[in-house]
Structure 1
């Protein structure tokens, strides 16, 4: 799906950067000026321009702290505007994550800010890409479940404590397997952006990155230390000026993680299922997204069954098609029938159709030529399941409820957020 993203100063409309997705020509300077001019004209006449649509595209504007204007132009997929605003919010807070709020809301030197914002390009581009991950769409971080999680939690707690921190996590194939309580206390948007940042960076044995937490610490930087334990597994710690990267790598890494080496290797073998092999699901399920709306955790897989797909009683859909179907289904449902998951202290634009309903929708489904989808909204959970077309429509609700109950038995996913 093609898209344009434009970032400008709010007062003078000076372009700070433009990013594109897809094989499309860059926007001309006059086109950027026209997009910004429409919004400024409305603002000067007391009108807050939020979004509009053409025959083929949709456009959304949002101004942050009266300093930065973000504009997105994207193909119209019929989804709620809430997903456009989420994209813009994620882009702005990506800028805060790597540059800090002070330099963004008090622009003293435009050219310097342009140079500083180049550090955000890869992260912003990751937000625009279609990937196998759902965190940026759901504002709930992608997680990974395995039978080794309890043991790995002990090793992580010990490692983070030795590094004189309380914030740490273990990522398996770019998904959080375990994390400390303080790490989970970060907002959903912070969890998602930190995970996205790790995915956007080149592979490295270790890293030391200055980051600002957009909600928790937008003006004071922390250091994000990352260490590759084995291929596909990284340990991450948020800390202050100490300890140094060399100290953690040379004195702590082997001591705390070498005893867990076999557990780490066993954990990797669960990928790409992302859930333990002991969890048995209906053979008609092709994939699912499960969201814990309290804890901002998202469990997703396109390989829900351990059986060889060629032996399953349904047409095999490609990985990209499964992801595309589930993402489209999610965007069609959330913001229209189900309430979106939001981080605190966020300015929300009250245009979601579900907000106008006199009751909360609990279920919805669609049937395509070669698939069926069912969504269930159950208190703290939202689940979106992709089925083969052979599954009877009358069985979708019961099977989805059974799947939800099976998955939330894992305490790591169902654990309530501490107040």
Structure 2
């Protein structure tokens, strides 16, 4: 009865368009009051203890770092580098968009932030060049989802904290899957662009122009080297790396590129604070929701039911993929991770799946969910920037979602794609 009340209330509140964080908190409160197993102070204590975590401090820092770098001219310079190397090919603008999204993913750690930063520049250019708006938005929304797969990734941090695994290991494990999805999108975009007649830029760059463009973007190109190199090299923790990213983005935007005024900085900090507050509130209420599940032993019951149904890790992973894809269509990424991790992790551990590999499977599933309506946040951001309808954006994204699903299956059933880099680096 408590489980029915918990999930029933949560679903009804979501249908009523109540924000996810509030829905999670109210559903948890109703369930706890009905069960009477813990005192009413449990919710207040849970909200505080769930966010009282050093690794979680990386989240607001990475959000602020990504915003500072996006507004400080780094994304535009990355696009210029992409144009030099890929602009002449068929569907050149589409390839540039995907490559730049992949690189910006290593800066922002956020899907919507990647779509906003790159889409704001690329979508008008693609529209001017005759690209279909829905197709363009679908491509950039799909490529933006790489923002939570290629490290640093905010959802990876949340999963690592929830599953009690190393954030650094999660970051390393996400490199190859992120590159695979990016390459898959480029291949599909090239074939689709060829069929649609989207030609490349006829301009040819001289060696001097290429060098000048790369030199102009040197500070942006250094970001992944500094942040990820520092983490993997043991120079600083992921949380410290996020703080370094904030300082770096501030210095480059204000004193080097001089594209961030003090008025801009105030606006960026305000936007980042609002985003961070939303994320942290979701983390807090989703953690309480997960603890209610634990109190009612729902994860144990689900694990036992699935294992009794089949002991094949192939079938179990397939069922989990289907569940995650469905959940990703309706639930915000961070909330889904915090709620489902304690439920599904015991299931996969029982059949011998590595928790880091499983984390990558979860992240990739939910990354696809960012492009699938009705709660495809990347599609909403892209459609707004691209001045097109959500329906056209969704239709344009279908072919790219299909390629991501194929790569998801490879990542799911070939664990070495995620775990091999850990072995090579001795992690």
TM-score by length of 1: 0.29
Question: Larger strand proportion, structure 1 or 2?
Answer: 1
Question: Larger helix proportion, structure 1 or 2?
Answer: 2
